[in-house]
Amino acid sequence: DADVTQTPRNRITKTGKRIMLECSQTKGHDRMYWYRQDPGLGLQLIYYSFDVKDINKGEISDGYSVSRQAQAKFSLSLESAIPNQTALYFCATSDFSGELFFGEGSRLTVL
């Protein structure tokens, strides 16, 4: 089983719908992250959390929210999806060293 698991792996939705992407990890790391990957833009940080009570905005947090339900679970929500949120989303974890361990990604298409 993967150390960092993302669900769903693929999702097609319509403008205005609420979407939740879920992430769970078995690496025992306190730090969790949500990134977005777009062609030509690379990986951009949306939100990050260093422990269950800590939530921080990244560089592109507008239109997104997160919930850290437990040390091992970190979910990303789009309250009202729009087409320019069509992208590949990655959850990642790290320990204090900073090396990131990524999930396999969730491909979201907003029509």
Partner 1 sequence: QKEVEQDPGPLSVPEGAIVSLNCTYSNSAFQYFMWYRQYSRKGPELLMYTYSSGNKEDGRFTAQVDKSSKYISLFIRDSQPSDSATYLCAMSARSGGGNKLTFGTGTQLKVEL
Under the rule (CB under 8 A), what is the footprint of partner 1?
A: 4, 31, 33, 40-45, 48, 56, 58, 90, 92, 94, 96-105
Rounded-to-integer distance, Cα 97 and Cα 82, Å: 36
Asked whether the beta carbons of 110 and 14 are under 8 A apart, the reply is yes
Rounded-to-integer distance, Cα 105 and Cα 87, Å: 10
Q: Give min distance, CB of 80 to partner 1, in A.
A: 26
| Closer of 16 and 45 to partner 1 (Cβ) | 45
| Closer of 14 and 39 to partner 1 (Cβ) | 39
DSSP string, 46-89: EEEEEETTEEEE-TT-TT-EEEEEETTEEEEEESS--GGG-EEE
| Closer of 52 and 101 to partner 1 (Cβ) | 101
Q: Give min distance, CB of 77 to partner 1, in A.
A: 19
| Closer of 85 and 103 to partner 1 (Cβ) | 103
Of 40, 22, 9, the residue nearest 109 (C-alpha): 9
Q: Give min distance, CB of 101 to partner 1, in A.
A: 8
Q: Give min distance, CB of 84 to partner 1, in A.
A: 18
